[in-house]
């Protein structure tokens, strides 16, 4: 954050470079801290920095896929069906175990599925600065069609800019209506290929297994187009998928390796925990010694239970691993996360626009009736000017919920509630994540505020 900040001021420094005292003092005043923070921020920069990979070191990696959709449309059933289908098709050895993610093998080509269905899980990770997924499977029940959480899921995937494959589920039901689902989804710019669009639709049944083979093929095809590549020959880094404490074995964490290769014996820092990989098992409970990009593994050897969504890095030695972990503890996880991203609010929008930090104003609208949500959306979009484009990344009817807030946090959006309020959970998360939630009873006032904010003329609220 510090390096970036200096860079924005036109001063190019590298992480290890010393800065002169006057500058240090200036920054220290700004951060309202003494200069020792510098060391701590260095550590975090180091932890979060993404080195540019030389193209020649990159090798194809499996896609990581998540399943989203409305409740009861069959996400869990579909994940189970895919896992079982793959076991039947003849993977030798190992009973499958639930570790939060699993891998299927289709004639030598792999796909990694995240086993926690739902867009909230997906976006919470993104909110922590971690991009976990390459492709979203949108499950829509053929007998029920597009429902509110279907729309949420679509907008979460769109905000993350990942491709969506539509799985129309429950086609075994007599009341299934595939054409109706296709028709309804055109409203959200998901248009089937046979209707001239570019979204893949696969009719499936988690019960009869019909269509599941095709769905897997379509995932591989989409992955191929995305040219997913990573360098396997470097120190590993990735994400915590889930973690728990086992009475006998101590902390157990499922990690998704994203870059490099994780090996037994590696020193790692995982959020505020650290340790040495003592043992590693895959999703089929087999002991393994190394895991490359896109592989989920369960590991033993951490000193503490980390949080889902934490980033892990393999380090050269025990000392570095401990240093990362200690920085997380001493600085407070939340504060560190906060420092890595700027939260948008209407009050400081103008300053951020002027600084060139904001080119898009992302807005989520919730209202009491569809008509006002739509009216507000259309008017807001018209406020776009040369400096900033107004985008409505999600809109819907009903109270502001948890999904809205995590989407806003992950996408640096503000939330406008029109004749609705945040529910209890949403309010709590919004406070914690510092998401700007603004409530209005008159459309004109909402428009007026956004317009004023864009011009730097918004009156502060007390
Ligand atoms: P989730 O809430 O999206 O995870 O949905 P579930 O997987 O729990 O499924 C909800 C209900 O739909 C359960 O009763 C399932 O048995 C049923 N279901 C799921 N997939 C199918 C399907 O392909 N056909 C039929 N007939 N029922 C299904």
**CA-proximal residue: ligand 1, atom 18 (nearest):** 74
Residues 435 and 345: beta-carbon distance below 8 Å = no
Query: pTM here?
Result: 0.80
Out of 167, 206, 208, 210, give the residue to mutate to test ligand 1, the one with the largest number of ligand atoms within 8 Å of its CB: 206
Q: Residue 234: CB partners within 8 Å, gap ≥ 6?
A: 57, 259, 260, 261
pLDDT level of residue 31 (50, 70, 90 thresholds): very low
Output the pLDDT for position 165: 98
Q: How far is the CA of 130 from the centre of ligand 1 (A)?
A: 30
Output the pLDDT for position 47: 58
First to last CA, the chain: 29
CA geometry: angle at 272 spanning 270 and 278, to 5°?
45
pLDDT level of residue 310 (50, 70, 90 thresholds): confident
Residues 415 and 405: beta-carbon distance below 8 Å = yes
Which residues form the pocket of ligand 1, taking CB atoms under 6 Å from any ligand atom?
69, 71-77, 117, 169-170, 172-173, 205-207
pLDDT (tens digit per residue) in 376-385: 999 999 999 8
Query: Does pLDDT of 92 surpass 60?
Result: no
Output the pLDDT for position 346: 77
Question: Looking at per-residue confidence, does 29 or 82 come out higher?
Answer: 82
Average pLDDT score over the chain: 84
Query: Does pLDDT of 230 surpass 60?
Result: yes
Q: Beginning with the edge strand found earlier in the chain, give each strand of the sheet holding 109-114 in spatial order.
A: 101-106, 109-114, 64-69, 135-141, 164-169, 200-203
pLDDT level of residue 21 (50, 70, 90 thresholds): very low
Query: Does pLDDT of 241 surpass 70?
Result: yes
Distances (CA, A) of 236 to 56, 231, 290: 18, 10, 10
Q: What percentage of the chain exceeds 90 in pLDDT?
A: 58
Query: Does pLDDT of 227 surpass 50?
Result: yes
Q: From the annotation, which residues make up the binding site for GTP?
A: 69-76, 115-119, 169-172
Output the pLDDT for position 175: 96
Distance CA 279, CA 295 (A): 15
Q: Residue 15: CB partners within 8 Å, gap ≥ 6?
A: 3, 42, 45, 46, 49
Q: How far is the CA of 142 from the centre of ligand 1 (A)?
A: 11
Query: Does pLDDT of 9 surpass 70?
Result: no
pLDDT (tens digit per residue) in 206-217: 999 999 999 999
For tokens 């020792």, the residue is 36
pLDDT level of residue 32 (50, 70, 90 thresholds): very low
Distance CA 83, CA 72 (A): 19
Query: Does pLDDT of 347 surpass 50?
Result: yes
pLDDT level of residue 7 (50, 70, 90 thresholds): very low
Of 75-79, 180-184, 302-306, 348-352, the one with minimum mean pLDDT is 348-352
SS (HEC) of the chain: CHHHHHHHCCCCCCCCCCCCHHHHHHHHHHHCCCCCHHHHHHHHHHHHCCCCCCHHHCEECCCEEEEEECCCCCHHHHHHHHHHHHHHCCCCCCCCCCCCEEEEEECCEEEEEECCCCHHHHHHHHHCCCCCCCEEEEEEECCCCCCHHHHHHHHHHHHCCCCEEEEEECCCCCCCCHHHHHHHHHCCCCCEHHHCCCEEEEECCCCCCCCHHHHHHHHHHHHHHHCCEECCCCECEEEEEEEEEECCCEEEEEEEEEECEEECCCEEEECCEEEEEEEEECCCCCECCEECCCCEEEEEEECCCCCCCCEEEEECCHHHHHHHHHHHHHHCHHHHHHHCCCCCCHHHHHHHHHCCCCCEEEEEEEECCHHHHHHHHHHHHCCCCCCCEEEEEEEEECCECHHHHHHHHHHCEEEEEECCCECHHHHHHHHHHCCCEEEECCHHHHHHHHHHHHCCCCCCCC
Averaged pLDDT for residues 138-162:
95
Output the pLDDT for position 267: 96
pLDDT (tens digit per residue) in 268-280: 999 889 999 999 9
Query: Does pLDDT of 111 surpass 90?
Result: yes
Out of 67, 71, 72, give the residue to mutate to test ligand 1, the one with the largest number of ligand atoms within 8 Å of its CB: 72
Output the pLDDT for position 173: 97
Burial degree of 307 (CB within 10 A; 0-12, 13-18, 19+)? middle
Q: How far is the CA of 73 from the centre of ligand 1 (A)?
A: 6
Output the pLDDT for position 454: 84
pLDDT level of residue 201 (50, 70, 90 thresholds): very high
Query: Does pLDDT of 112 surpass 70?
Result: yes
Output the pLDDT for position 240: 92
pLDDT level of residue 335 (50, 70, 90 thresholds): low
Q: Which of 108, 102, 60, 54 is nearest to 81 (CA)?
A: 102
Averaged pLDDT for residues 226-244:
91
pLDDT level of residue 40 (50, 70, 90 thresholds): low
Output the pLDDT for position 52: 65
Output the pLDDT for position 186: 96
């Amino acid at each position: 954050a510090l390096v970036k900040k200096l860079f924005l001021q036109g001063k190019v420094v590298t992480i290890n470079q010393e800065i002169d005292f006057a500058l240090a003092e200036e920054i220290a005043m700004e951060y309202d801290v003494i200069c020792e923070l510098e060391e701590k921020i260095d550590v975090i920069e180091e932890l979060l920095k993404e080195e540019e990979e030389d193209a020649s070191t990159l090798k194809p990696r499996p896609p990581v896929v998540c399943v989203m959709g409305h409740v009861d449309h069959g996400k869990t059933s579909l994940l189970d069906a895919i896992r079982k289908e793959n076991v039947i098709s003849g993977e030798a050895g190992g009973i499958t175990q639930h570790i939060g993610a699993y891998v299927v093998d289709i004639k030598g080509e792999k796909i990694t599925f995240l086993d926690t269905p739902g867009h909230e899980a997906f976006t919470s990770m993104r909110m922590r600065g971690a991009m976990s997924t390459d492709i979203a499977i949108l499950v829509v029940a053929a007998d029920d069609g597009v429902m509110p959480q279907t729309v949420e899921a679509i907008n979460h995937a769109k905000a993350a800019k990942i491709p969506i494959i539509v799985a129309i589920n429950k086609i075994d039901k007599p009341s299934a209506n595939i054409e109706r689902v296709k028709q309804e989804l055109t409203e959200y710019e998901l248009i089937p290929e046979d209707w001239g669009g570019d979204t893949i639709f696969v009719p499936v049944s988690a019960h009869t297994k019909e269509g599941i083979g095709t769905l897997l093929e379509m995932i591989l095809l989409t992955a191929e187009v995305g040219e997913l590549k990573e360098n396997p020959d470097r120190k590993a880094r990735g994400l915590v998928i889930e973690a728990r404490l086992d009475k006998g074995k101590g902390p157990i964490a499922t990690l998704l390796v994203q870059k490099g290769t994780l090996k037994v014996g590696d020193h790692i820092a995982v959020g505020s925990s650290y340790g040495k990989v003592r043992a590693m098992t895959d999703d089929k409970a087999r002991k393994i010694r190394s895991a490359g990009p896109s592989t989920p593994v369960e590991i033993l050897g951490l000193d503490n239970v980390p949080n889902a969504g934490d980033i892990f890095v393999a380090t050269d030695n025990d000392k570095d691993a401990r240093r990362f972990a200690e920085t997380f503890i001493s600085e407070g996880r939340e504060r560190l996360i906060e420092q890595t991203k700027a939260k948008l609010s209407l009050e400081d929008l103008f300053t951020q626009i002027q600084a060139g930090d904001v080119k898009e104003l992302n807005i989520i609208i919730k209202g009491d009736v569809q008509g006002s949500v739509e009216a507000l959306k259309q008017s807001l979009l018209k406020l776009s000017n040369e400096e900033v484009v107004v985008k409505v990344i999600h809109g819907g009817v009903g109270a502001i919920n948890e999904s809205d807030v995590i989407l806003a946090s992950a996408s640096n959006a503000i939330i406008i509630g029109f004749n609705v309020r945040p529910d209890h959970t949403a309010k709590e998360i919004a406070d914690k994540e510092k998401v700007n939630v603004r409530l209005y009873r008159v459309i004109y006032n909402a428009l007026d505020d956004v317009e004023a904010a864009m011009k730097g003329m918004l009156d502060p609220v007390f």
